[in-house]
Structure 1
């Protein structure tokens, strides 16, 4: 592994770039002056996504020309090209594009460093909330906001087997659909939020306990979140509780997944998901 870029420097770089891109996106968001399009998979994308992508790719390429970049908004290298990458940047320029368009404020910039097929660094910037979440594997998870910088951790439930569980759910997802996949013996509260990464960050800082994502996502949707949540004492796994994988399949599509807080909770009993779909695992 080349030693030209210590992880501490790469983390600071990712933080700086995420904020720079996020501030540029926020200016567009505040003016409401952007164009929206539909991609081939029918997911939305905007001129703000492309603006953020251009900023992130240029800044990372200039600073670390030896580290490849895999971004949602760029053409993706084939598995044959990327399978031997020892590490690479994994980027989602705007996670929550639909929320950006709907003006809910629930969108974020995601930058992860994947090393040996696992997230090593995770950075998520929430522009409307002026909040930067970040982590380096083995060094803990942190949040920087106008109130200062603090180490964050998942919420510890008083009684892991019986306490009320706070579920982060999509603003556009049926509450009944989510609760229908949870153990009927538990008591739940719900917290509506937009992007996947913000739900994960809220779990990492103890504002929610669990989040299940049902539907199409890419590896860029979980890379930064997984590092932050794990360092905060939680975990992210496929909905059948198998580990998520990075850069090991032809497809970059994730299976349905679940983000979990307090690891003392028997999550396999709480999350009762029987129609798991695990796409393109080969």
Structure 2
């Protein structure tokens, strides 16, 4: 079991994610929200801001000594952040475009980072009332209305020959994704929305690999990384280098890949360059 501190912080994160998720779901079902464009031209909605306010309030009330880094907050500079040995990392709504498009593929992400590594990950999918969560060293879990279970990445029958299931964005060309992979394997594709839900599908064995090309932030991978790693997989930069947290002036991630079965020769399959 997690130590008492991590157990309490996990429950706090789950409660905050669920409360924010229920508020977001109410807005989603009514279809009444305001949409804006951020400086980088990415969309944000009044639902994102509401979720952010709820999560920030809950975490600050319970853990006033732990800093918060959220996509929708003003970001402290590295000169301040480098002194943080522990902090919350939040994406209030991962999949804002999917929320706007009404695909249902959006999630609430909360991670706890300690010593520059995710040690708690919580991802709540409001439309499915489903919570994915993990604590470092304690395994990954999925809780939905009819079950709660430990989850693990799928073990391929033959790591060198079996068909590989690729999670791809609903807005991404299947051919573009396949072109980045070795022609020596056979692939199937599974279209999904948010980055974190694709990662969760790999963690629970519904897909085997996901490559994300394009701009993301550290909040897009923090919770997912803890969950995927505890399920037996990995999240790495597309160059197969480790992702970093709170160690650079920029909070942008490099292109990254989410990998399932570690027995698969992924370096031979993923053709990044």
TM-score of Structure 1 vs Structure 2, range by shorter chain? over 0.9
**What does 1:1-282 correspond to in 2, within 5 Å?**
6-274=5-273
Distance 1:23 1:267 in 2: 38
Distance 1:11 1:137 in 2: 11
CA shift for structure 1 position 199: 0.1
**TM-aligned CA deviation for residue 113 of structure 1:** 0.1
Q: Distance in 2 between matches of 1:147 and 1:192?
A: 24
Q: Deviations over 1:18-66 (max 9, x none)?
A: 0010010000000000000100000000000000000000000000000
- Distance, in Å, in 1 between the alignment partners of 2:204 and 2:191 is 16
CA distance, structure 2, for counterparts of residue 84 and residue 139 of structure 1: 27
- Cα distance, 1:110 vs. partner? 0.1
* Mapped partners of 1:126, 1:270: distance in 2: 30
- Aligned CA-pair RMSD: 0.9
Quick one: distance in 2 between partners of 1:135 and 1:36?
32
- Stretches of structure 1 that go unaligned for 5 or more consecutive residues are 275-282
**Partner-residue secondary structure (3-state), 2:127:** coil
Distance 1:125 1:166 in 2: 23
Give per-residue Cα distances to partners, 1:147-195, cap 9 Å, x unaligned.
Answer: 1210000000000011000000000000000000000010000000000
> How far apart, in 1, do the equivalents of 2:14 and 2:260 lie?
24
**Cα distance, 1:101 vs structure 2:** 0.1
Runs of 4+ in 1 over 3 A off after TM superposition: none
Q: Structure 2 length normalisation: TM-score? A: 0.98
Q: What CA distance in whole angstroms lies between the structure 1 residues aligned with 2:231 and 2:190?
A: 19
Q: 1:216-275: CA deviations, max 9, x gaps?
A: 00000000000000000000000000000000000000000000000000000110110x
d(CA) in 1 for partners of 2:89, 2:61? 16
Separation (CA, whole Å) in 2 of partners of 1:147 and 1:247: 38
TM-score by length of 1: 0.95
